[in-house]
Structure 1
Amino acid sequence: MADSGDWTCDANDAVQLTLIQPGETKPITAEIFHPQFTYPIFGDDEQIFGYKGLIIRLRFATHDLRTHVHISYDEKFRAVGDAAAVDLNKTLREWVPESAFTKLSDYENTVQNDQKAKDFTPPGKLVHSYKTKNRNYEIWAGSLADDAVRALLGRAQGFVPFFIEGGVPLVLDDPEWTLERWIVYFVYEKVTPTTPTASQYSFVGYSTVYRWWFFPEQHGDNTVKNGPFPYPEEIRFSQLPSRSRIAQFLILPPHQSSGHGSQLYNVIHKACIADKTVVELTVEDPNESFDVLRDSADYHNLYHEFRNQDININPNPYPKETGKRRPRNVPTSSLIPTQKLSDIRTKYKIAPTQFAHILEMYLLSRIPPRKRGGANMARLLIKKHTADDEDDRRYYWWRLLVKQRLYKRSRDILVQLEPQDRIQKLDETIMNVEEGYDQLLTVFDAREKGRATFAPDVDSDADAVMTAAGVTTMGALRNKRKYAIEDEDEEDEDEAELVEGSKQAKRPKI
């Protein structure tokens, strides 16, 4: 028997994802790309045993994502005992709809001669149009309770195991009241049809957002009152106070680094701001790429608000009376306008942890680079809040504000350490947090200060800005920010801590 290695291939290389559209005589390829990973389907090793020259083609019609699976190979391993080639059809059926397993000729004929394609429009409602790189795009949004939205999402979710790490396709046969919690956003390019019967829409990406019920604070008289039963009107989930949470978010590889992610995120964010029942926008388990995109969009949205409100650290938080001993606690409310910041966060409906990161980055940007970092630390540790230079004092207080946030979040761990070890761990953490912020600010500040000189398509997308700036890779930026800090569930954040200026931190790895 041949060595098993001869019969093993890389699943990421074997799988080809293709967007196709009608051609003169038969469908032609519009886009072709490989998956980012295949471990949900083929296991952690992402290897397929039993084939030579294996190609697994997953075709999607550009407009409605009608799907087809076609498998070809040069040679298949003959089973010997328990050793057998992977049953590809059985494996893929868990992730691809049954309708995709038809004859290739039947599928191509359907795509080529689809008389309804020329009249196709994405399901839902057109909510945003934009132009980038001289190409036109649209974003459509609709409820998952809509049959057409649900059908298209069912096909779009074929990309989930290949690009959304840890992603799980949504269950689409839930009761209607559950489906109404979900809004689906589709991004499409408007293209010139390749044939008279072809569609003018080509799929780019999508996002799913669901409402997470929010228990509002109780004010005033909380006495239970008598009322009619049953209720005279049906209570719908869409009318209750909630958080909106982004669950799936995907821009296909051929369209990445062109601004579509930022456009889509901003559309979702604006919809949340406009909806009076939505308290804030959160994200479910974001990856590094999305975190940087989100940071970029939120920083841009808050940057001008912070500037207009003149948000900065007060370098002189203590009263001028001589002889008065300074308090032991950080004078948060004297350092930053906590109530004003709370109002800004509420206005923009940004989750507390995310708002704290953006605020810390902005406050750091107000301190000249030459006044911060390791070069001045020896002098600053001696002078502290009595330093002669205002920016030195601001930097001293900035570090304390961030340390306060870090400590409150990880207090249970830190109190177990000796005081000197505790200080050391906090210092190590804040150094890495600051370095991560500095790298992000290099990009964000350059964009904000030179916004008029940036091309719109580059300016609007975090990926493209990162690449153009040549600072570092997106993953490295995010890893630096997460070096000693880990996100916890944003839903558990307590807004009262923000008002007091002591946001809970991401946890130091100690």
Structure 2
Amino acid sequence: MASDGDWTCDANDALHLSLVQPSEDARLKTLSDFQPQFTYPIFGDEEQIFGYKGLIIRMRFAAHDLRPHIHISYDEKFKPVGDIAAVDLLKTLKPWIPEEAFVVLPDYEKAIVEDKDAKDFVPPGKLVHSYVTRQRTYEVWAGSLADPEVRRLLDRAQVFVSLFIEAGTPIVTDDPEWTLERWTVYFVYEKVKPPVPTASQYSIVGYATTYRWWYYQRDKTQKPAVQDSPFPPAEVIRPAQLPSRLRIAQFLILPPHQGSGHGIHLYTTIHSACISDPTISELTVEDPNEAFDALRDTADYHILRSEFQKHKLNINPDPYGVPAKKPRPRRVPTSALIPTKLLSEIRSSFKIDSTQFAHISEMYLLGQIPLKKRLAGGSNMARLLIKKHNADDPDDRRYYWWRMLTKQRLYKRSRDLLIQLDLSDRIEKLEETVTNVEEGYEALLKAFNAREEELKAREEDLDDDVLDESGEGFRVQRNKRKLTVEDDEDEDEDEEEDSPVKRPKA
């Protein structure tokens, strides 16, 4: 009998994904093929499949409406021995794929090739944005999850969440209509030339989901009073009428289209919808990974930079005044270093949540300090730590205060854990994290500025092309903005960003 190793294969290698459309010879043509990044939600943490040799699981999707199909082939299957048997692939896959995917192969190909409705297909919802990248046309469509067509398309797409978003969870789409109305789905499509007259001109690129999170806002100008209102109310209150935060839950550009700026377009489209909706207070993101953080930082930096420039935002190098006051106060108010009221107004008007806004403003303020005065440019850190706010050069003083402001934010967010450390360890951890944060900002600033210089050299339109290719095209991952504190006690790993998190478990 063969050993277990001979009958075990890597699930990521065995699974083949592709987008297909009809071809001129009445067969299916593959537009793109790719493999998953993760398969542990389906096949377990080891991402291994037992019981087959030469296993190939082909998962195909119609490029326009994602009609799915699964075809399984293998050279040899393990014969059961006692309780040991090959993985039941159909049973394992069915919870993740719509039932329609398990039709006989000729029936699937025939259904796609002979689909009379494909030529008239338009994505569900409404067109909210269109753009051109590398002479190819793309559109973003948005629709409510309460729309059956939106729901059907999302149900077909949700397997991608498990295959490409780490710890991603498919959305439950059989909730009551009122709950489904909280959700909006954004689909990104490329408009392609149909290979045959009956084929669709749309090919899926990616999608995102957002939901409204009720946000309590009390009118402080009015005194609280008991109201005798009927229950249930005479008129049904729809989710779109309620004050809310908007949260991005899922966000995915399929691998064949990554690195071309589609994520930036999708994010800025969602942000624009947030800005134009008076019931939404701010845009947030549910548990973003580092790659999405970099994309989001690039997009928000582009959005906010012109506003910061308009107000000539910078750090005051002399918060004590010129000449410096004597005796100096023990503490310097943050408002003496940066215009906190103005920043609060900008944040509210652009509806960016406070932590993300702090990151963008920190990155911008760092960029206002000449490179040679920063760590990345070879600044003399030992001298700066001695001179501090007494440094002769105002840019040295700005850099000193920039690090102090960043430490202040990190300390506030992580105070409960930091106060458990000795003072020397606390200082060391903050220094390490500030340096880590700064390195991440430097990578983003360098990539953003390099792209700008390239655009100027090519004399292309800045606004269109920076959004065209800046985000994913940079392929930048900022450094983790977190402290690491070792401890023997178990800790929840889902901590707030920038906090001293992920203590190794015993």
Q: TM-score, normalised by structure 1?
A: 0.91
Name the structure 1 match of 2:200: 199
1:427 maps onto 2:398 in alignment: no
Match status 1:407 vs 2:411: yes
Tell me if 1:263 matches 2:265.
yes
Q: Distance in 1 between matches of 2:324 and 2:252?
A: 59
Whether the 8 Å CA contact 1:245–1:283 is kept in 2: the answer is yes
Kept in 2, the 8 Å contact 1:487–1:506? The answer is: no
Inter-partner Cα distance in structure 1 for 2:250 and 2:129: 19
C-alpha displacement of 1:287 = 1.2
Deviates more, 1:435-444 or 1:92-101: 435-444
1:460 to 451, 465, 468: 468
> What amino acid maps onto 2:187 in structure 1?
F
- Aligned position for 2:442: 438
Matched, 1:506 2:499: yes
Deviations 1:124-144 (A, max 9, x none): 000011111111111100000
Mean Cα deviation higher: 252-261 or 480-489:
480-489
Per the alignment, residue 61 of structure 2 pairs with 60
1:395 is matched by which residue type in structure 2? Answer: Y
List runs of 5+ in structure 2 lacking aligned partners: 486-492
How much does 1:447 deviate?
3.1
Identity %: 64
Equivalence for 2:363: 361
2:12: which partner in 1? Answer: 12
Displacement of 1:426: 1.6
SS in 2 for 1:247: strand
Q: Cα distance 1:487–1:292, how it changes in 2: closer, same or farther (>3 A)?
A: farther
Q: Deviations over 1:460-479 (max 9, x none)?
A: 33455425xxxxxx3xx334
Query: Quick check: 2:298–2:471 contact (8 Å CA) kept in 1?
Result: no
Q: Give the corresponding residue for 1:149.
A: 150
For residues 362 and 112 of structure 2, what CA distance do their matches in structure 1 show? 52
Q: Is the 8 A contact 1:17 1:59 kept in 2?
A: yes
Point out the more displaced range, 236-245 or 22-31.
22-31
CA deviation vs aligned residue, 1:128-173 (integer Å, no higher than 9, x gap): 1111111111110000011111111111112121111111111111
Equivalenced residue count is 488
Q: CA deviation at 1:218?
A: 3.5
Pairwise CA RMSD = 2.1
Aligned residue number for residue 302 of structure 1: 304
Deviates more, 1:29-38 or 1:316-325: 316-325
Please list, as runs of the form range in 1=range in 2, the aligned pairs for 1:153-172 lying within 5 A after superposition. 153-172=154-173
Name 1:252's counterpart in structure 2. Answer: 254
Give 1:236 deviation, angstroms: 1.3
Q: Distance in 2 between matches of 1:323 and 1:355?
A: 32
Partners of 1:103 and 1:418 in 2: CA distance: 66
- Report 1:57-456 matches (<5 A): 57-226=58-227, 228-230=229-231, 231-320=233-322, 324-373=326-375, 375-448=379-452, 451-453=455-457
Partners of 2:322 and 2:465 in 1: CA distance: 51
Structure-2 change in CA distance of 1:255 and 1:413 (3 Å) = same
C-alpha deviation, 1:227, in angstroms = 5.1
Deviation at 1:437, TM superposition (A): 1.5
How far apart, in 1, do the equivalents of 2:210 and 2:399 lie?
39
Query: Against the structure 1 CA distance between its residues 227 and 447, is the aligned structure 2 distance closer, same or farther, given a 3 Å change threshold?
Result: farther
Alignment partners' CA distance in 1, 2:482 and 2:415: 18
Stretches of structure 1 lacking an aligned partner (at least 5 in a row)? 468-473, 491-504
Q: Which moved more, 1:427-436 or 1:228-237?
A: 228-237
Instruction: Kindly state the Cα deviation for residue 77 of structure 1 after the two structures are TM-superposed.
Output: 0.7
* Contact kept in structure 1, 2:419 and 2:426, CA below 8 Å: yes
Change (3 A) 1:450 1:28: closer
Tell me which amino acid in the other structure corresponds to 1:460.
D
Q: Which deviates more, 303-312 or 442-451?
A: 442-451
> Cα deviation per residue 1:237-268 (whole Å; 9 max; x = unaligned)?
11111010000111111111111111000000
TM-score by length of structure 2 reads: 0.92
Amino acid at match of 1:222: K
SS at match of 1:410: helix
SS at match of 2:387: helix
Query: For 2:220 and 2:260, how far apart are their aligned partners in 1?
Result: 46
Shift of the alpha carbon at 1:506? Answer: 3.4
Which residue matches 2:489? none
Query: What does the per-residue CA deviation read over 1:472-507, in whole Å, with 9 as the maximum and x for residues that have no partner?
Result: xx3xx33454565998558xxxxxxxxxxxxxx533
Distance 2:483 2:418 in 1: 17
C-alpha distance in 1, partners of 2:116/2:325? Answer: 86
